[in-house]
Structure 1
Amino acid sequence: MIIKILGSGCKKCLALEENAKAAADAAGKQAEVIKVTDFAEIAGYGVMSTPALVVDDKVLSMGKVLTSAEIELLL
């Protein structure tokens, strides 16, 4: 599983990254977490507000920091 965190690297982006890692661990899934800061690549996903959560190239959330429990439900 590949989890991408789309954003500029701001505080909210870092929080979403940590929550995604915790959710993958709690779900018992092996995941590679990648930070994407290139705005052209972010726009390619159709994301207009960050941070955004992408799992296996599917946008699951944008514009908010999900908790690890919320992310675990999406995985």
Structure 2
Amino acid sequence: MKNIKVLGPGCRNCEMTAKVIAHAAEEAGVEIELQKVTDITEIMGYGVMSTPGVVVDGQVVHSGGVPGPDLVRQWVGDPD
């Protein structure tokens, strides 16, 4: 199971990012653990200065803006 974190203050773009990720995982039939991180100290600990940021299995893969569906599908991966 992949651990995915959405980093941000809970803004509209952060919420949309979380929804896009959850939807992509559901479509792919992949189980993920999705967390929303709003603590600024923890966010800065990842080196993210522009939110929303996305961390997959401990690695920052995106920051600044809502990611596109194709990119999210790559993070979620295929269960095969």
- Determine if the TM-score, normalized by the shorter chain, exceeds 0.5: yes
Cross-structure match for 1:50: 51
Contact 1:53 1:61 in 2 (8 A): yes
1:23 is displaced (CA, Å) by: 1.4
* Aligned twin of 1:72: 73
In structure 2, the residue matched to 1:60 is: 61
Output one character per residue of 1:19-59: Cα deviation in whole Å (capped at 9) or x when no partner: 01011122221001100000000001010100011111111
- Would you say the 8 A contact 1:23–1:69 is kept in 2? no
How many residues align? The count is 75
Give runs of aligned pairs for residues 14-53 of structure 1, distance below 5 A.
14-53=15-54
Q: Is the radius of gyration larger for structure 1 or structure 2?
A: 2
Unpaired runs of 5+ residues, structure 2, are: none
| CA distance in structure 1 between the aligned counterparts of 2:21 and 2:73, rounded to whole angstroms | 8
Asked if structure 1 preserves the Cα contact closer than 8 Å seen for 2:56 and 2:75, the reply is no
Q: Is the 8 A contact 1:22 1:68 kept in 2?
A: no
CA contact (8 A) 1:3 1:53 kept: yes
What is the RMSD computed on CA atoms of the aligned residues?
Answer: 1.1
TM-score, length-normalised on structure 2?
0.86
- Percent identity among equivalent residues? 43
Unaligned runs of 5+ in 1: none
